[in-house]
Each structure stands twice: as C-alpha cells, then as structure tokens.
Structure 1
Amino acid sequence: MMTALLVVPLIGAAGMAVDLDYAFEQKEMLMNAADAAAVGALAEKSAGVAAALAMTSDGEIAIADADAEKLFLAQVPEALRDRILSTEIRILRVGNEMTSKLDFTARVPTSFMNIFGKDAVTVSGTATATYQTNAFVDFYMLLDNTPSMGLAATQADIALMQKNTPDACAFACHTTVDASQNYYAVAKSVGAQMRIDVVREATQALTHDATEYSRVTNQYRMGVYTFGPTADTAGLTEIVAMSSDMARVRTATDAVDLMTTKQNNYLGNQLTDFGSALTKIKDKIGTGGTGFTSSDRQKVLFFVSDGVGDYGNTACTEKLSGSTRCQEPLQPRYCQAIKDKGVKIAVLYTTYLELPNDSWWKNWIKPFDSKIASNMEACASPGYYFEVSPSEGITEAMQALFRKVISAPRLTG
C-alpha cells in the first residue's frame, strides 16, 4: 500500500523534470533566435544601420524594429511559433551607438505536470546587441613620393633593376637632365615596379574599398597629397581635394609619381621634410569630429612612407652632413600635434632597407636605423600601424590598414 501511495508523486516528480527539461530546450531555441535577430538587425548592411546613419538626431529606428521581428520569427522553428505569447523589440540610436533589445514570452505545454493541474510552463528571455561606429570619415592620404620611394617594390623588381643598371642599383632615380642617371626610365623600360607605383595603385584600390563599404551617400571621403612633383617645387602638394566621388579620386591619383630631380644629389638630396609636410597637413585637416553625422566627420591621416627625413635643419636629432643637411628618423612630435586635434593617424611604414655595402648608409643611416620603425609606430594612433618590407604586398597591407580603420563598428550580444 505504501508503494502504491508513493507511485503518483514519484511519477509526478520524474515527469516534472522531463517537462522542465523540455521547457528549457524550447527556451534555448527561442533565445538562439532572439540573439540572431538582435544581432542581425544591426548587421553592417542592414536597413536599420543605413537608416541610423541617415538620422540627424537620436531616437528609435522603426525599420530596424520590424527587421528584428522578421528575423526572430524566421529563426524560430515553425512548431514553436504558435507558442509565443509576446515579443517586444526596441532598437535605438544614441550618438554613434545603436542598441537592440528583444524580449519574448512563450507558453510551453507540459505532459506529466498535468497530474498537478499545470498544463503549461511560461518561459521568457531577453537578447541584446550593440553596434558602435564612427560612420562618417574623411581620409587624408599623405603619400611619400620623394626619391627614396623609387626603390624597386619587390625582391624580384630589385633583382631586375640591379641586373639592368651598370652599378647594380635598385633605386630608380627620376632625373631629368643627365639621361645616364635616369634609372626611372630604366625601371619603366624593363617593367620593374617602384614603391611609388605600388603605393599609387594601392591608393586607387582603396577607393574601391571606400565605395564597397559605404552604406550611405557621402559616408567616406578622400583627399590625396604628396611631397611635391619636382625637387624645385618640393612641399605638401594636393593631388585631389577631399571628395566622396571615388571615381574622381581614383582618376586624379594617376598623377602621383616619383618626385623628379635634375640630377643625382640635386639640392643635396634634401627633399624629405616631414616636419613641414605634417605641419601643413595638420592645418589643412583641422579638428577631428565624432563621425556621428556627415557634418561632424571623423578625420584620419593615412601616412605612407619609409620614415627617413632628409632636409636642411641645423637642429637635427642626428649628426649633420655638412653644415645643414639633416638625415633623421621621423620625429613623432609632428604626429602628436595632429593627434592632439582629435585626428587619428594610420601609418604604413615601407621598410627602409639596410644597405650594408653602401658607405653612405653605413655612415649616415645605420646610426639611427633602429629608431626608424619605432618612430613610425609612435606616429600612429594605437592599433593603426603596419610595416611592409619589399617581400610583402603594399597593396594588401594598405587595404588591411584601411579596413581596420573603418572596422570600428562592433557587435556584442
């Protein structure tokens, strides 16, 4: 008799565990669907993100709410949809942050708990996600086109230049007076690419990226600058003014080429004045914004160089060659003055190669060789520094750095 009396509660207890396990499984399915919907509604290419970027003030994003509900129901197994009692979805934009919150309640039927008069279990859950972006960005592309960027771009190009020059030189000097010194013409005739060629092509490739990743009109703009077309006109030179017309930027960038000099050692080769170029572009850039709207744009200086200055300056950080020629690594203080104005700096350092058999390199560059890369990295904003040697792809590195800059958006949920 005792056993008979215990059978009912024992079966009820076991059945309760089965029902609760089933209810938990059903809740997990709903939570997975809710998580997917909360995140999916804030996906980079979603209608909600596009709508948020077009908003001029904070508020709820109705189209994203509707998107999230559709995504939620699409992820829920069909047999489970009728069990949903309610869903509440709210997606907001506040500043550069979008947040989504999806609450649900569902009724899961029981099998064994009916013994105790309970024919269903109510389950509920909340899924949240956040998307942060500095959406509107102006890119100031400062490309070092001084003679040292005439170095052959890859090891294969270096070998090709050395094979075709009488002194086995890997540099394509762009001289205009003495044809025998014009290794730029040699590079063109044998099909050897120079670093400046690859940098030009890589910059043009970034215009395609800017178009591909743009979600709203005028989201990304670009302006391109060099150190000047000739030794006699050296100085910050605008190739194309800031524009969201990436086709126009791409076409104008064809004009980026190696700086010409009349002859080797013309003007003492003092043609790379980082301080002057960075100070002038600082004034042109002005103060960086939040990036939240098209009228308050984030500003990014994208600086590509081999990091060695060569100019007239008696206050040089390294020993002078002659009375005024200063060869030194980039001085990060010029970059800091730009960063202090709320501007991010992305740096692509094209490795300044060691030339152990070259007396000039041994006497003037080797003493500070260890500082070149570290100073270039100090110029960059945290996380926005890449180094590329001739054996690596400049185009791929520039694209990776560009995408890193615009990948500030992130999802959490």
Structure 2
Amino acid sequence: MRRSFLQNRRGGVAIFFGLALMPLALMAGGAVDFSQISRQKSALNQAADAGVLTALKEAREQLKQGKPDWQSIAEKQGGKAFTNNASKIGGVSGTGATINLSLSGGVLSGSLNYAANAPTHFLRIAGLNTINLKGSASATMSAAQYRDIHFVIDVSASMGIGATKADQQAMQNSVGCAVACHHAEAADPATDNLAAVRAIGATLRIDVVRKAVMDALAKIPNDGSTRVAIHSFSNSLKTVFPLSTNIAGAISATQSIDLTNENGQGGTNFHYSLNQLNNLLASAGNGLTASQPRGFVLLATDAVEDSSLFFYADGVAPPFARQWVEPNFVVGNPSYFAWGLHYVQAPDAANCSAIKAKGYTMMTLETEYLIPDGVYNPTFDAVRGDMGPAMTKSMTDCASAPDYYFHAESPQEIDRAVQTMVSKTVNLSLTH
C-alpha cells in the first residue's frame, strides 16, 4: 500500500495548474495594462501635437506684433496647451513638457518633448507600479506673414499675337495679320486691327495673361497681410494699380489692361522698364512685420525685346525722313534689325539684378511666342532661330531660382503657371 501511494500521480495536474496560473494571470493582466497605456500614449502624442502647434501660432502672432520676447511667450503658451490636454487623460500623472522654438530664414521650427507616468493594475503583482511614457512632436510654419507682390505685365505690340494657332489663322483671314497692329507709331497710324480681331472673337496673348492674373488675384487671402501692385510695360513702365491691400481694386485695375496704343510705346524695353521698377521699390524685408514685408516681382512676358518702329516725320512723305522714337533702347548682342525698322533681341538677365539685390524674389513667366504657320516675317524668323533659346535663357537667369522660371504655351498652361507663381508667394503650410 505504501508503494501504491508513492506511485500515485493524480494530484499533479492541480499542482502544475496552480504553478502556471500566476504567469498566465500576469500575461492576461499585462495585456490589459498595455492596451490602456497605448491609448494613453496616443492621447499624449495628440496633446504634444496641439502644444507645439499652439506655440508656433503664438510665435507667429507675437512676431507680427514685433514683440522681442516672442519666443518665451510662445513656449509658455504651448506648454499650457499641452498640460491642459494632458490633464484630461485619465490616470496619467507627472506630465511635463519642454518646448523649443527657433526662427531661421522666415521659417519657425518647434519641438516638444514630454514625459509622464502611467499607472498599472495587474502588473503591480510583479512589482511594476507605473510605466514611464516619453514622446516628442515637431512642426514648422512660415513666419512670413506680410508680403508685397508686384505683377509686371507685358503690353507691347507682340502681346497682340493670336493666343493659339487657331486664333492666328482667324486673324490672318480677317485682317491679314496674326498680330493685332495697335501701336500709334506704326507707319500708318490709322491702322488699328484690335477692334477688328476682337469682333471676330479672336483671343490674344494679352487676353490670356490678363485673365490668368485676375484669377490668381482672386485667390489671395484678403486679410491685410498681402499688398499688390499692378504694372504694365512696353517701352517704359506704367503703374496701373499702386501697392495696396485692396485685392478687389487690383482685380478691377487688371481688367482694364490691354495692348498699349501710346505713341513711342510699341516696343518692349526690359532695360528701361525694369530700371524704372527698381527705382520704385523699397528694399524687401523678412515679412515678420507690416513694416518689413517680403517682396516678390512676377514678370509675365513673351520675352521678345524689341525697339519701337521708326516712324515717318510729320509733313514729310516716306521714305525721305524717319525718326527714331525710343532714346532709351540699348541694343544688345546678338540682335536683329528687322526690316530696317526695329531691333529684335533677347532681354539681358542683368536687368533683373538690381531688383534681386534689394531682396526681391523674381519669378518669370515666358509665354512662348507662337509663330503663325505660312507667314513670312523677319521678326518671326529671328525668334525661330537663335533668339528663341536666348530668350528662354534670359528669363531663366532673371528668375531668383530655377523653379521660379515658368514656360507656358497654351492658355491653360499660362493660367496654371500664374496660379503656381502666386501660390509660391503665399506659403503658410504646416508640417509634422
């Protein structure tokens, strides 16, 4: 009987189950604890996001007001936002956060690091009463809130070319010319094809650019942070709408822009016009205050620089007397003297240097000079040849950076390019 007792193993199952119950309970209880802690950690991360964004927004506002202690004020506000949100997370204690802000190149950067204690329940059996939670959040925000945008629109005779091949053909059939001759210093001042081509519904390059600028202006936030000026240029610069926060007024002024018909204004003088613009511009700022706005110049042109025509002197029959009507034109190299009447050349990118030296960001839109099919014109031939690539290079070099140069051919491409140019000036996006 003693031997039978010693060989009996039937109670071993209960003993082994009892020994295994503790770790099983810890595993199950630990899963419950960690699930709760995971939710708490997620809530803390959201509080950290809110804290750093609050700090950045406060920093931007303090900078707008010119506060020298903007950094400490904003960091405190961000800390309060984090603490307020973290206090609503049940069970979490000992929460604390450190916020650091910095400003470089008009961009605010912020980081928040936090620590907190999350209590356990089941894991206390194993002596683990709390779990330390740590995390961080970071974001950037443009601090440049104030900006001046100068639109410079080419209204010279060449912008009267048909906007598409179809427009050019319709114009050719109607008035015998793919360009709406509209400038007063032409050999026959009575010739004005603009009304005629508009009557047949033809769209010109100037029409496309004008509409694109108006559409882009309508999307600029009308919050007082952006001032806009509208300039037209041909042989010289004309301010159509002076610098103002009145966006609606700028749109209305742009609507009135059309091809120039002033005497001595049929050409395109980049040298003189951009020099005039530079004389109007104050030095650009960092955009942090209304008195120090960032500066942008958006130049829209077909990039064909040409002098005004010679025209016949009053009272003298041609071809006995011709008079040069543009003393400010600088003949470049290479250039082409078309028909013995005017020069055609690529603009000199150096004309943009003085404006960029004042801190302005130059953006250029080259509306490609579409050339009508089957039409002989020495100007067209010059653009078809070496002048074309030279014009593109000049516009690229004039821009402040390669991605600030835009090339567009169709009306749709022109509209998209202008929209993109304006969007680059109004960049207030956040990143995490």
TM-score normalised by the chain length of structure 1:
0.79
For the pair 1:224 / 2:230, whether they are aligned, the reply is yes
Q: What is the CA distance between 1:146 and its match in structure 2?
A: 0.1
Counterpart code for 2:389: S
| Cα distance change on mapping 1:66 and 1:109 into 2, 3 Å | closer
Find the aligned partners of 2:413 and 2:76 in 1 and give their Cα distance: 42
Secondary structure of 1:170's aligned partner: coil
Q: 1:257 aligns to what?
A: 258
Tell me which of 272, 281, 284 is aligned to 2:280: 284
Tell me which of 86, 89, 103 is aligned to 2:95: 86
For the pair 1:364 / 2:382, whether they are aligned, the reply is yes
Q: 1:200 aligns to what?
A: 210
Contact between 1:52 and 1:93, CA under 8 Å: does it hold in 2? no
Counterpart code for 1:255: S
| Cα distance change on mapping 1:391 and 1:11 into 2, 3 Å | same
* Residues 299-339 of structure 1, C-alpha deviations (whole Å, 9 max, x = no match): 11110100010124344333444779431112111112321
Q: 2:270 aligns to what?
A: 274
Find the aligned partners of 2:112 and 2:85 in 1 and give their Cα distance: 9
Counterpart code for 1:343: Y
For the pair 1:307 / 2:325, whether they are aligned, the reply is no
| Cα distance change on mapping 1:351 and 1:222 into 2, 3 Å | same
Counterpart code for 2:366: Y
For the pair 1:170 / 2:187, whether they are aligned, the reply is no
Quick check: 180-189 or 8-17, which moved more? 8-17
Q: 1:231 aligns to what?
A: none
Find the aligned partners of 1:84 and 1:349 in 2 and give their Cα distance: 61
Q: 1:387 aligns to what?
A: 407
Secondary structure of 2:220's aligned partner: helix
Secondary structure of 1:330's aligned partner: coil
Contact between 2:113 and 2:137, CA under 8 Å: does it hold in 1? yes
Q: 1:377 aligns to what?
A: 396
Quick check: 388-397 or 31-40, which moved more? 31-40
For the pair 1:108 / 2:118, whether they are aligned, the reply is yes
| Cα distance change on mapping 1:170 and 1:16 into 2, 3 Å | farther
Counterpart code for 1:285: L
Find the aligned partners of 1:347 and 1:67 in 2 and give their Cα distance: 45
| Cα distance change on mapping 1:137 and 1:51 into 2, 3 Å | same
| Cα distance change on mapping 1:367 and 1:98 into 2, 3 Å | closer
Secondary structure of 1:198's aligned partner: helix
Tell me which of 39, 47, 65 is aligned to 1:26: 39
Q: CA RMSD in A?
A: 3.6
Find the aligned partners of 2:396 and 2:81 in 1 and give their Cα distance: 42
Contact between 2:208 and 2:411, CA under 8 Å: does it hold in 1? no
For the pair 1:328 / 2:345, whether they are aligned, the reply is yes
Find the aligned partners of 1:157 and 1:63 in 2 and give their Cα distance: 62
Contact between 2:30 and 2:122, CA under 8 Å: does it hold in 1? no
* Residues 65-84 of structure 1, C-alpha deviations (whole Å, 9 max, x = no match): 389549956xx9x8x54435
| Cα distance change on mapping 1:152 and 1:36 into 2, 3 Å | farther
Find the aligned partners of 1:389 and 1:252 in 2 and give their Cα distance: 25
Contact between 1:308 and 1:328, CA under 8 Å: does it hold in 2? yes
Q: What is the CA distance between 1:112 and its match in structure 2?
A: 4.0
Q: What is the CA distance between 1:125 and its match in structure 2?
A: 1.8
Contact between 1:355 and 1:361, CA under 8 Å: does it hold in 2? no
Counterpart code for 1:334: N
Q: What is the CA distance between 1:16 and its match in structure 2?
A: 8.6
Find the aligned partners of 1:321 and 1:159 in 2 and give their Cα distance: 23
Secondary structure of 1:211's aligned partner: coil
Find the aligned partners of 1:67 and 1:248 in 2 and give their Cα distance: 42
Structure 2: where are the runs of 5+ without partners?
A: 1-11, 308-328
Secondary structure of 1:338's aligned partner: helix
Find the aligned partners of 1:162 and 1:66 in 2 and give their Cα distance: 70
Find the aligned partners of 1:258 and 1:180 in 2 and give their Cα distance: 16
Find the aligned partners of 2:60 and 2:197 in 1 and give their Cα distance: 46
* Residues 132-165 of structure 1, C-alpha deviations (whole Å, 9 max, x = no match): 2322111111110001111223455344434433
Contact between 1:129 and 1:412, CA under 8 Å: does it hold in 2? yes
TM-score normalised by the chain length of structure 2:
0.76
Contact between 1:51 and 1:61, CA under 8 Å: does it hold in 2? no
Larger radius of gyration: 2
Tell me which of 54, 63, 67 is aligned to 2:64: 54
Counterpart code for 2:238: T
Find the aligned partners of 2:180 and 2:300 in 1 and give their Cα distance: 19
| Cα distance change on mapping 1:153 and 1:40 into 2, 3 Å | farther
Find the aligned partners of 1:288 and 1:396 in 2 and give their Cα distance: 26
Find the aligned partners of 1:100 and 1:90 in 2 and give their Cα distance: 7
Q: What is the CA distance between 1:6 and its match in structure 2?
A: 7.0
Find the aligned partners of 1:391 and 1:252 in 2 and give their Cα distance: 21
Tell me which of 137, 162, 169 is aligned to 1:127: 137
Q: 2:425 aligns to what?
A: 405
Counterpart code for 2:390: K
* Residues 41-79 of structure 1, C-alpha deviations (whole Å, 9 max, x = no match): 479xx7x47734532124123896389549956xx9x8x
Aligned pair count reads 389
Counterpart code for 2:261: T
